[in-house]
Amino acid sequence: VLCGHEHFYARAIDKKNPRPMYFICGNSGSDEHYNCNAHPLDPTRFEFKCDNVHFGAIKVKVTANKAIFEYYAVEEPNSPQDVYVISK
């Protein structure tokens, strides 16, 4: 699932089946309404990478053999803060 709207960036991976299930990117850089703990997924089952401090965006590059998900914070536009690759 790739979605936005929440006030943070998050990548959730099922620990039993280690592949991403959710990429959430709608981070406004404010945890006034929601933060990295504002999700219904069980933390004993899912691993999370989360950022609710910075403004940011996800850049997705897709080739014939892989999809590369790169999360960038506005303050560091030349270096991704998180990278995840799905290979064919």
Kindly report the pTM of this predicted structure.
Answer: 0.80
Q: Which residues of the chain have pLDDT under 50?
A: none
Q: What's the pLDDT at 59? A: 92
pLDDT in tens, 31-54: 666 677 776 778 888 888 888 888
Average pLDDT, the chain: 83
% residues pLDDT > 70 (the chain): 88
Cα–Cα separations (whole angstroms), residue 52 to 25, 26, 59, 65, 75:
10, 10, 18, 31, 13
Q: What's the pLDDT at 32? A: 67
